[in-house]
Structure 1
């Protein structure tokens, strides 16, 4: 899955890689992006007359997709990830898969390796980033939810796939990464049906990411500075005894 990620590159670099001509709002580096927060997403806009260049639009969306048919969002579960293998068959994602595919720019993501409960050890957090650096783009879906009072909010979900060999030892799922050469095909919903882009929904190459152990600072949404990405020695964390009376085998993302 993908329950936390970061976008720390400069806006002009992010928008340049994603092919966005302009974005009115500036955005600061974010080291600990969590569900329900506003996130930057990029979608396909209408092509300008006479132009052969893709017209892409950047906007902010709530991380946590709400399908249009939901009557009360308070009664609907938080959907932050969509399994790429089954998204087209799920009522929550079917329409977005056909009509509203997006890119979610990121500098990397976090994942937790959870030891067996009987071990008494805490979960270990990892900062997972591309070895070559740079901005990456997760495959995503978007829906605009209209509430009963007439207000609207754009909502988004990040698509996941089975983990590659490098990540499998930490978690069995990982975000789908769309390569720059495939941006246009993934975003073009008018001519590219879900079955025609299914080949893009695959794990990144085994040597694409590197996983860096980090402290449990990332567990708390209030920790938003670069310290959450500071490397730590795994052995030091594993040697810490669990706190009495507290089950440390599970970690809340929220």
Structure 2
């Protein structure tokens, strides 16, 4: 799964890395401890160009009666997303990049759970494969998203049995291209994704509390 991550890059680095034409990103901010329910930086393709902005993490499907469903939908299993009613249409038309530079996972041990910060070895900034939707009810409007996950690769298996899908740099644009509207095709696309090399180190349980959001969240344990 993916339940916490970081985004510490500056705004200019994001604009350059993802080849965005916009001059700035409204409400841009960095975070050492991004948690479900918070607004997260995402990139979509509007049919003409890529656009970066903020979505709330925790998918609220357009058909949902209650927005609280979002807290149960922070992740979506890539193996079945093309078939599930909650995600099938989104796999066809509402795919996004969710921008990050590391994520946290908790490894079980004899003392409980040890949080680890996990990064790509060769890239400081990357994107999770995500889905998004627009929800409206009683005059309220929400734009929300979910992170797609897969079975853990050999590196991650020692930490957790699942992991977020991190798109290779050369696959990011293809994931959000609006011309592809076949859920099965996008399922096959994700199935063939190979994750770049990762590394990990232990961090303090300080990160367990979502309100903690400073350098101590990512400081290596001595």
> Alignment partner for residue 135 of structure 1, among 125, 128, 153?
125
Q: CA deviation at 1:199?
A: 3.9
- Provide the C-alpha distance between the structure 2 equivalents of 1:219 and 1:160, rounded to a whole number of angstroms: 21
Larger-Rg structure: 1
Question: Is the contact between residue 134 and residue 144 of structure 2 (CA under 8 Å) also seen in structure 1?
Answer: yes
Unaligned residue ranges in structure 1 (runs of 5+): 48-54, 234-254
Alignment CA distance shift 1:125-1:76 (3 Å): closer
The TM-score with structure 1 as length reference comes to 0.81
Q: How does 1:38-187 map to 2 (within 5 A)?
A: 38-47=39-48, 55-74=49-68, 78-115=72-109, 119=110, 121-147=111-137, 149-187=138-176
Question: Is the contact between residue 164 and residue 204 of structure 1 (CA under 8 Å) also seen in structure 2?
Answer: no
- Provide the C-alpha distance between the structure 2 equivalents of 1:4 and 1:177, rounded to a whole number of angstroms: 14
Alignment CA distance shift 1:94-1:122 (3 Å): same
Task: Supply the RMSD in Å over aligned alpha carbons.
Answer: 1.7
Question: Is the contact between residue 144 and residue 154 of structure 1 (CA under 8 Å) also seen in structure 2?
Answer: yes
Alignment CA distance shift 1:75-1:172 (3 Å): closer
Q: What do the CA deviations read for 1:48-77 (whole angstroms, capped 9, x no partner)?
A: xxxxxxx10112111000111111223665
Q: How does 1:194-233 map to 2 (within 5 A)?
A: 194-202=183-191, 204-205=194-195, 208-233=197-222
Question: Is the contact between residue 185 and residue 192 of structure 1 (CA under 8 Å) also seen in structure 2?
Answer: no
Structure number with higher strand proportion: 2
- Provide the C-alpha distance between the structure 2 equivalents of 1:230 and 1:66, rounded to a whole number of angstroms: 33
Alignment CA distance shift 1:74-1:25 (3 Å): closer
Unaligned residue ranges in structure 2 (runs of 5+): none
- Provide the C-alpha distance between the structure 1 equivalents of 2:150 and 2:201, rounded to a whole number of angstroms: 21
